[in-house]
Amino acid sequence: MGQLFGTDGIRGIANTELTPELALGLGRAVVRTLREEGKPRPRVTVGRDPRASGDMLEAALIAGMTSAGGDVRPLGVVPTPGVAYLTSYLTADSGAVISASHNPVGDNGIKFFGPDGFKLTDAEEERVEELLQRTYEDRPVGAAIGRLLSVERPAAPYIDHLVNVAGETRLDSLRVVLDCANGAASTVAPEVMQRLGAVVHCINAEPDGANINASCGSTHPEAVSAAVRDIGADVGLSFDGDADRLIAVDSSGTVVDGDTILAILAATLQDRQGLTTVVTTVMTNLGFKLGMQERGIEVIETKVGDRHVLEAMRAGGHRLGGEQSGHLIMTDYATTGDGVLSAVRLLTTMAESGQDLSDLAKVMRRMPQVLINVRGVDRSRLADSERLWEAVAAEEAALGDAGRVLVRASGTEPIVRVMVEADTEERADTTAQRLADVVGRELGGR
């Protein structure tokens, strides 16, 4: 893996770590990579979320692409999964999205898709990084310089696709609150739901460049929960800034997280199409696994991160996967997580079954889960800390089949995460606190 690309593209503080100079160089490197692969004049789609730095980074990225001889279709503000879909739909050679997903407005990121709409592989990202160092090579002139290709209503085919996912099912009976996180969902989700017949009430759907994810969206479900209770809606749907995640709330305002939504979709696919497997991460709630076990659905675990989930899905031919955060992937319809698509599938399940979301959510019983982030520790010593792992083994033995323990290092911060699930909230909390104390003592944080 290279130095720039992380598990989900390149991220950083816009104009400090993720600079326009870097974006320009990345644009050139991606187009040069495509040209070396036999595309004499590559075509690239570029989309973004509405955060303030998006204009600056979009201009720089496109300048780099056109300066290397690539033709660019700017998509404007569109969800990340929309860029993936449109890259394939428009038969582009690559796609790029400028977004920091659920992160604060000061952050931004750039990630790329191949012509099939899937994220670049590690090897492809490393090739881009290699070419990024060759700044002054191969500069086209005259007519060989790339151009901007206009697209009228660029998101329209993606919106049509999302509507078509519902098939013949209508949502006429459903009153829905949409929390668009003042992000890219604002351009897509309301129209999709209205075309399907839902009675739609939108909140946080007026992005101004500075308010993306600000006390709203999937990381703040209390906002949509309050709105659902206030207007007496049937369901609330909360997206993140680039609309690749979904968290829902039922008619009482109770949060239904990604694990539960995934369980609902898995049960529905099993009943209708004989689904036998589902892919999740090690952070997935134990209640999900037990619920799937009762149904005879095999649960395949990966490391944390939607990239790992998708890799396992593609390698094993699995159709459904996701994370507790609400990043859900359905390869029958998409090449990446898609919050609006997940919302369509969830609402059509409600409409077709005639059940409230609270009833559907009973497909799994969520186990109490406590997560403690132990900060300021030397995470590199985690694997070799015998006393810590002895303590973990002792706590696991005490919990037995009624819970589990997961201790892992953060991939980006000096943090060790302690997660405990148990049959009661009190037991989960006290167990997690004991282990967090051990982590602090053994790894130098306390």
Give catalytic residue positions: 101
The size of the chain, in residues, is: 446
Question: Tokens at residue 113, please?
Answer: 């898709």
Distances (CA, A) of 30 to 82, 270, 390: 20, 41, 48
Computed on alpha carbons and rounded to an integer, the radius of gyration of the chain in Å comes to 22
Helix, strand and coil percent figures for the chain, each rounded to 5? 40, 20, 40
d(C-alpha 369, C-alpha 423), whole Å: 9
- The residues, any chain, with a CB within 8 Å of residue 326's CB and separated by 6 or more, are 218, 240, 245, 246, 247, 257, 258, 261, 339, 342
d(C-alpha 345, C-alpha 385), whole Å: 45
d(C-alpha 65, C-alpha 18), whole Å: 17
DSSP state of 375: E
- Which 3 state secondary structure label does DSSP give 171? coil
